[in-house]
Amino acid sequence: MLSRPSDSPRTPPPLRPSRPPAQRAPVAPGRIGAARLDRLNAAPPGAAEDALLACCGSRRWARL
């Protein structure tokens, strides 16, 4: 059995956003995903590729 320095569990520090959330126009609940997809489809190719790389990390897939 591994010994621990104390019996109390360590709690990680709270996460803080690196920047304030962007102000967005209200979107109907059923359109949230569609609105994001519309923005991605309307983005310039380089910006769309950067967004896809940020979420999936696959350069080959992002360039399709």
Dihedral class, residue 57 (left if φ above 0, else alpha if ψ from -120 to 50, else beta): left
Q: Is there a domain that residue 40 lies in?
A: yes
- Tokens 């309307």 correspond to what residue? 42
Q: What is the pLDDT of residues 15-45, one digit of tens each?
A: 665 656 566 666 566 666 677 788 888 989 8
Q: Is there a domain that residue 7 lies in?
A: no
Q: Is there a domain that residue 57 lies in?
A: yes
What is the model's pTM? 0.43
Helix count (H) and strand count (E) of the chain?
A: 3, 0
Domain that includes residue 47, residue range: 32-62
Q: Which of 4-8, 9-13, 25-29, 53-57 is modeled with the greatest confidence?
A: 53-57
Q: Is there a domain that residue 56 lies in?
A: yes
Question: What's the total number of domains in the chain?
Answer: 1
CA-based nearest residue to 55, from 38, 35, 40, 34? 40
